[in-house]
Amino acid sequence: MIWHSFSDFWAMGGYAVYVWGSFGMTAALVWAEIAWAKQARRKLVQNIQAERASVALNATDWR
């Protein structure tokens, strides 16, 4: 552990904006990408289920 205190760690020797700006944006985009893909899957599965439900419903109407 090379940091002597939390404020040293946070300040990153004066480069805080640049270092944390980089790590922060990377983390934000990684998280956003994962969240977006998960949400896309959820909506897709819901969509397909709804389609199948309405198709099944319409099929039974004809009897």
Partner 1 sequence: MFSKSLFYFSSPQRFYPVAGKSWPWFAVMASALAVWGLWLGIFVAPTDFQQGEGYRIIFVHVPVSWMSMIIYLAMAFWALMGLTFNTRLSGMMCSALAPTGAICAFLSLWTGALWGKPMWGTWWVWDARLTSELILFFLYLGYIALTNAIDDPRRADKAGGILALVGALNVPVIYFSVKWWNTLHQGASVSVTNGSSMDRTMLDAMLIMAVAFWLYAIAMTLYRVRNIILARERHTQWVADLPEMKAMSTGAIT
Q: Residue 40 interacts with partner 1 (CB under 8 A)? A: yes
Restricting to residues 1-20, name those near partner 1 by CB under 8 A: 1-3, 9, 12-15, 17-19
Question: Per rule CB under 8 A, is residue 35 in the interface with partner 1?
Answer: no
Q: Which two tokens stand for residue 20?
A: 């944390």
Distance CA 25, CA 38 (A): 20
Q: Determine the number of helices (DSSP H) and then strands (DSSP E) in the chain.
A: 2, 0
Write out the residues near partner 1 by the rule CB under 8 A. Answer: 1-3, 9, 12-15, 17-19, 21-23, 25-26, 29-30, 33-34, 37, 40-41, 44-54, 57
